[in-house]
């Protein structure tokens, strides 16, 4: 039998794939993957995800935008503040093509993948 190298350096990885539907001046409507997660709107272009239970040790977060008219999202960017282990919150900032914080609106989606590990990775 041939042995292979480990497929991941993340022990017991836990991934959350979340799809949030936009709506101006309100929290993302978590359409998929949001079980045990609460979405909060902070202010224009700023959202917060909060896990009800400890999901583990934070590894990374990635996100993409989609919409029925993708041209409206041209040059938009997504950033994250560091994950807060005390409150179990991840803050997301969305900037429009002009570099200004902006909400996503109806028919626009934020796809987020957040990865945690069961044990601390050093």
Instruction: Please give the average pLDDT of every successive group of 10 residues along the chain, which has 122 residues.
Output: 69 90 90 88 96 95 95 96 97 97 94 92 75
Q: How far apart are the first and last CA of the chain?
A: 31
Q: What is the pLDDT of residue 10?
A: 76
Segments making up each domain of the chain, as ranges: 13-117
Measured CA to CA, the distance from residue 16 to residue 71 in angstroms comes to 27
Lookup: tokens for 27:
């929290």
Region of 45 please: left (phi>0), alpha (psi -120 to 50) or beta: left
Check: CB of residue 25 under 8 Å from CB of residue 103.
yes
Domain boundaries 13-117, corresponding CATH code: 2.60.40
Q: What is the pLDDT of residue 33?
A: 81
């Amino acid at each position: 039998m041939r042995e292979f190298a480990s497929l991941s350096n993340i022990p017991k990885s836990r991934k959350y794939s979340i799809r949030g539907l936009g709506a101006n001046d309100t929290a993302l409507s978590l359409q998929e993957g949001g079980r045990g997660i609460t979405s909060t709107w902070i202010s224009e272009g700023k959202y917060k995800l909060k896990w009800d239970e400890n999901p583990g040790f934070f590894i990374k977060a990635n996100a993409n935008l989609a919409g029925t008219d993708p041209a409206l999202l041209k040059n938009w960017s997504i950033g994250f503040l560091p994950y807060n282990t005390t409150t179990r919150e991840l803050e997301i900032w969305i900037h429009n093509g002009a570099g200004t914080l902006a909400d996503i609106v109806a028919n626009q989606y934020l796809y987020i993948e957040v990865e945690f590990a069961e044990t601390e990775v050093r």
